[in-house]
Amino acid sequence: MNIPVNKRLLSGITPSGDGSLHIGNYLGAVRQFIELAKSNETYLMVADLHGLTTIQDKKQLQQNIETLILNELALLKGFMTDDEFNNIIFFRQSDVPMHTECQSIINNVTPLGLLKRAHAYKDKLQKDVMEDDINVGLFSYPMLMAADILLYQADIVPVGKDQKQHIEITRDIAGYFNKIYKKNVFKLPAPFIPEEVAVVMGTDGQRKMSKSLGNVIAMFESEEVIRKQVMGTFTDPTRKHVTDPGHVEGNMVFTYLGFFGEPSRVKKMKELYKEGKVSDVKVKEYLYESVMTYFGPARRAYDELKNNPALVKEILARGQERALTIAIQTMKQVRDVIGVTTQYSFFDYQKPVSGKTISIDEFARVELRVGKVQEAKNKEGSDKLIRLVVDIGEENPRIIFTGVRGFGYTPEDFLGKQFFFITNLAPRKMMNEESQGMILAVDGASLKPQFVSAEGMPVGAKIR
């Protein structure tokens, strides 16, 4: 398997069924995310809006979304270091409204025929549902998915085999759009589907493991439930007695042991099984133990997250913020090339502040003073920092850095002028010096910070 590096990855899981994940989802999807996230910029999304095609009950949708969030986060946390985990951009689709906006726009470059060939929709037709009765959300499911991917300019989309066609559709749509508007606005993504785990069969040994078929082994259920699922797993139908020589091929217990068991012990067990020297129950006991051991860290992470909703919220808020940054960039370009921006345009994207809050008491401790910039120079060796020497009415002036050269600011914009400064922050190391405060700026609508002028006010005056 050729693992990509330094690419941007995006994938999503829909909160279908009851929102919980099973070992098929883990082996076929989440395990790849974890591997790939180590060497790539990774966006993982809870595709809650996609859930609406089938779930139209408020309570159930809410519950499924929460379950999926906990299941996914627990797997990630359980199998990754803290640094790796913090690098992942984990967010909810509905927390970034640009997904639906983008979908609406790309609808217009997409031929109907492309969607009519989509499997999800064709499958539904085969199940004796009249075409006229299929909801438009299901029909345009690939459009929302294309928007999900294109918004983030993803290079690679790791998915199960069943989703390959959706990535092809996405590429087609990106191509149409870029061609019509004569600009490479959207990147064409590539699917990533490791062959060896393309599809995990269910405990019935007959069909793909799937929640809706009830042939799953779960990770976050109670020990009793998981034990029952393991004990019900399909083995070798030709074997009537323990002493009969058994078959390990197509025997689901051994298939799963291949993933979760200890290789040398599995090998030995296979030999004994073929010789009729170990019972089905014994082998299943070992599978149960192996599953519990393998997912032990993830199960503990699950309990931890479930008992700490504030932490989950914080993870989602951080993910939303980072996802929005990219989604906004793309949509600005999209709006621009399609021609909705005119000389009368006033709309601009506003990035909401993160859901993380500080208390009023904490905020009340902020000290704000009027300062006059005595010196302003670009900081050597940095392409962002401007070094200010600021008189805030104390005996000595302070050194205060601002990192805004990237927005086109120069030292002249500050020199000799008065601004507001936050003056009771712990000093922060900036390259080889310490910044002894922060300049106050308005950050937001235009995304370029604006500095608040304090011209004409007494230097050193305390604003609060």
How many residues sit close enough to ligand TRP to count as binding (CB under 6 A)?
Answer: 14
Q: Smallest Cα–Cα separation from 280: which of 217, 231, 209?
A: 231
Choose the contact partner of 210 out of ligand ADP, ligand TRP, none; CB within 5 to 8 A by kind: ligand ADP
Name the token pair of 390.
């600021």
State how far the Cα of 207 lies from the Cα of 29, in Å rounded to an integer: 18
Q: Tell me if residue 396 falls in helix, strand or coil.
A: coil
Instruction: Decide: is 140 part of the binding site for ligand TRP (CB under 6 A).
Output: no
**What residues from 42 to 101 belong to the interface with ligand TRP (CB under 6 A)?**
47, 50
Instruction: Decide: is 323 part of the binding site for ligand TRP (CB under 6 A).
Output: no
**DSSP H or E segment with residue 442:** strand 441-442
CB nearer to ligand TRP: pick between 145 and 230? 145
Please identify which residue in 14, 40, 103, 153 interacts with ligand TRP, judged by CB under 6 A. 14
Instruction: Decide: is 235 part of the binding site for ligand TRP (CB under 6 A).
Output: no
Query: Could you say which DSSP state residue 29 is in?
Result: I
Residue 114: CB atoms within 10 Å: 15
What lies within 8 Å, CB to CB, of 10 at 6+ separation is 42, 43, 44, 45, 148, 149, 152, 154, 157, 189
Min separation Cβ 159 and ligand TRP, Å: 5
Name the token pair of 27.
């082996």
Instruction: Decide: is 118 part of the binding site for ligand TRP (CB under 6 A).
Output: no
Q: Which stretch binds ligand TRP (CB under 6 A): 102-110, 111-119, 144-152, 305-313?
A: 144-152
CB nearer to ligand ADP: pick between 203 and 290? 203
CB nearer to ligand ADP: pick between 53 and 418? 53
Q: Smallest Cα–Cα separation from 187: which of 172, 169, 174, 168?
A: 174
Q: Tell me if residue 430 falls in helix, strand or coil.
A: strand
Q: Return the axis-axis angle of helices 263-274 and 252-260, rounded to nearest 10°.
A: 160
**DSSP H or E segment with residue 433:** strand 433-435
Please identify which residue in 149, 248, 278, 324 interacts with ligand TRP, judged by CB under 6 A. 149
CB nearer to ligand TRP: pick between 207 and 356? 207
Name the token pair of 14.
């829909």
Min separation Cβ 18 and ligand TRP, Å: 15
Q: Which stretch binds ligand TRP (CB under 6 A): 65-73, 157-165, 212-220, 288-296?
A: 157-165
Please identify which residue in 30, 96, 157, 373 interacts with ligand TRP, judged by CB under 6 A. 157
CB nearer to ligand TRP: pick between 158 and 246? 158
Min separation Cβ 79 and ligand ADP, Å: 16
CB nearer to ligand ADP: pick between 17 and 246? 17
Cβ(77)–Cβ(27) below 8 Å: no
State how far the Cα of 42 lies from the Cα of 420, in Å rounded to an integer: 38
Instruction: Decide: is 171 part of the binding site for ligand TRP (CB under 6 A).
Output: no
Please identify which residue in 34, 75, 159, 269 interacts with ligand TRP, judged by CB under 6 A. 159
Reported residue count of the chain is 464
Residue 126: CB atoms within 10 Å: 7
Cβ(7)–Cβ(155) below 8 Å: yes
Give the binding site for ligand ADP (CB under 6 A): 13-14, 16-17, 24-25, 28-29, 159-160, 162-163, 199-200, 208-211
Please report, as ranges, the residues that interact with ligand TRP according to CB under 6 A: 10-14, 47, 50, 145, 148-149, 157, 159, 163, 166
